Structure 1
Amino acid sequence: MQESVPVLIGGVSLDAFLAFLFTFIGFLFLGNLAYLLLRRALDGHVSRGTAKWTAAILQYGITIGGIYASARHFLAFDLTAFVASLGILGIVVAFSSRQIIQNAIAGILITINRPVQLEEWVIVSGRPETGPGKVQDISFTTTTLRGLDGGLVLTPNSSIITSKVINYSRAGLLEVSIPLAVPVTADLARVQEIALRAAHDHPRILPHVEPAERSAVQNLFDLPYIGRLSSDLPRPGLALFEPKMQVSSIKEDWVRLTVRVWIREIPGKDQIVSEYLDTVIERLKAEDLLAEKKWEDEPAPETQA
């Protein structure tokens, strides 16, 4: 009696289909491994973009070549069986990995539209929470950001296509809000003068920077999205980036102030803010503007006999 062999759609035996499926997965693994090894070999010798796409071409070549070879060997290059096998595999993937497909399609759109690129400083849908993150890698399904605190944030590619993306590198500038608190009895006009003077004196805060930096900032007005920021100025220029101070709130005996400054060195944000605050606090202490004082008309406390 002849033993029957299980048959799937298109006349493919179950053993052949399983062998094709496992070989397919194996070549996916080999493609990813080749990508990582080639990236490691090329990084530091060529630009990161060139290394990434060269490794990606090798990865896709291994994957596609492996699929072709396994289909020809296990499926006898039967076009009907080949399409049927991929159809079964596609159905499984569609139901179990819908997000993976979305991220893969988004990865292709990112490659075409380039909303973000390697080495750019961006925020994607509020992440990283520590502030702008540097784009470290853009893979087939995820984009890796490195935050200012050094942490790596893996962002699905679909988030970059469907969510709000803030790209600081293309704008070339970052506005920083620096909180400051002084006693309610302090001379706010003098505090403002000291705070703005400290910003003017800092060599890394706009607009009082080196001539080369000043020229680079001036060239940003040729960009349409920067030009719109200065549309209300009679002569768009560096005056747009002058430091400003405003009162945020008054709580108990303290006035909360906010100093807004512009910088170009996004990775050095924390250091610039720290240096600025050290200078302001030192000058405020020198003029005794941080010490709480009694109102002149406040009655003296009664003394008991």
Structure 2
Amino acid sequence: MSFSQSFQEILPNVLGRLPSLIAAVVTFISTLLLSGLAARWVKKTLKLKRDNPDLIVLLCQFARWAILLLGTLLSLEQINFDITSFLAGLGIAGFTIGFALQDIARNFVSGILLLIRQPFAIGDAVQVAGTYSGEVLDVNIRDLVLKTWDGERVIIPNLAVFSNPIINYSEQPKRRRTIHIGIGYGQDIQAAMRVFLKTLQETAGVLAEPAPAIFAEELGDSAVTLVARFWVNQKTHGPLDVHSDAVLAINAAAEAANIDLPYPTQTVRLEQL
């Protein structure tokens, strides 16, 4: 069979399919344009409502690829491609791959939920799962990066972050601190409490509201235990710095007022048998 004969046999088939091919190409090009417009619209809309670059990029890409996938399927349908069989095969393959990569997928979904909920931001001091504490260095769709108080860099999978309690120490401006003080049994406890309360009120960084307070907590073996509680605005003062200043001030006030702060004591009695 000559080339001209083959061409003559193929040409009618090509011409018959030409409208479908043109429709498929037009559909796909329109999808490309529409996906770009959708991504820009999502980006513009979210920028007005959220200050989260990672989430904005993620949703823009999701909108773009969702429209591209839909447009590709519509284009294939224009040329009589068996989409049903293709999707069935894709579903089986997707199930197999998804089962193998389920941990990665769960971390991915957890990352999306964390980006949407935003329980913390870059620079916040947090505790995750009761184990890891530190400053948030990075939050993405795969993991959380912390810098611990010892300067170590810890990478925590998002699934562990999302499924465990999170304490955000930076979200509220006011932090409460507690100091335990032991007073000797021979002392005037109420007078000592007034001295220590006045000392706290005069310590720099201790907030006037909520007001500091001192309570008698328990009768110990060698002392009456007092509990001093006060609040610090961590936006203006370091809670640990104010805590240290308060301890030193209480110790100095006790020495000035001759208030006994006894060491724990234990009586040992020796008897000769």
- Bin for the TM-score computed over the shorter chain: 0.5 to 0.7
Q: Deviations over 1:178-207 (max 9, x none)?
A: 222222222221221222222211221112
Q: Is 1:243 paired with 2:244?
A: no
Identify which of 235, 238, 259 aligns with 1:289: 259
**Structure 1: 5+ residue stretches without partners:** 1-48, 69-78, 208-237, 293-305
Tell me the amino acid that sits aligned with residue 175 of structure 2: L
2:241 maps to 271
1:206 maps to 207
2:127 maps to 123
- Would the aligned equivalents of 2:180 and 2:227 in 1 still touch at CA under 8 Å? yes
Quick one: distance in 2 between partners of 1:245 and 1:87?
67
* Higher RCO (Cα < 8 Å, 6 or more apart): 1
Quick one: distance in 1 between partners of 2:178 and 2:260?
20
In structure 2, relative to structure 1, the CA distance for the partners of 1:87 and 1:257 (3 Å cut) is farther
C-alpha deviation, 1:247, in angstroms: 2.5
Quick one: distance in 2 between partners of 1:83 and 1:263?
61
- Would the aligned equivalents of 2:182 and 2:261 in 1 still touch at CA under 8 Å? no
Tell me the amino acid that sits aligned with residue 96 of structure 2: I
1:177 maps to 178
Quick one: distance in 2 between partners of 1:176 and 1:151?
25
SS in 2 for 1:279: helix
- Would the aligned equivalents of 2:135 and 2:146 in 1 still touch at CA under 8 Å? yes
Quick one: distance in 1 between partners of 2:245 and 2:189?
22
Tell me the percent identity.
18
Structure with greater Cα Rg: 2
TM-score w.r.t. the length of structure 1 is 0.52
C-alpha deviation, 1:135, in angstroms: 1.9
C-alpha deviation, 1:88, in angstroms: 4.1
Quick one: distance in 2 between partners of 1:152 and 1:184?
48
SS in 2 for 1:170: coil
1:53 maps to 54
Identify which of 82, 91, 97 aligns with 2:96: 91
1:189 maps to 190
- Would the aligned equivalents of 1:181 and 1:257 in 2 still touch at CA under 8 Å? yes
Identify which of 94, 100, 107 aligns with 1:103: 107
SS in 1 for 2:245: helix
SS in 1 for 2:170: helix
Name the count of aligned residue pairs: 192
C-alpha deviation, 1:55, in angstroms: 12
TM-score w.r.t. the length of structure 2 is 0.57
Q: RMSD across aligned C-alpha pairs, in angstroms?
A: 3.5
Quick one: distance in 2 between partners of 1:291 and 1:175?
24
- Would the aligned equivalents of 1:120 and 1:135 in 2 still touch at CA under 8 Å? yes
In structure 2, relative to structure 1, the CA distance for the partners of 1:277 and 1:115 (3 Å cut) is same
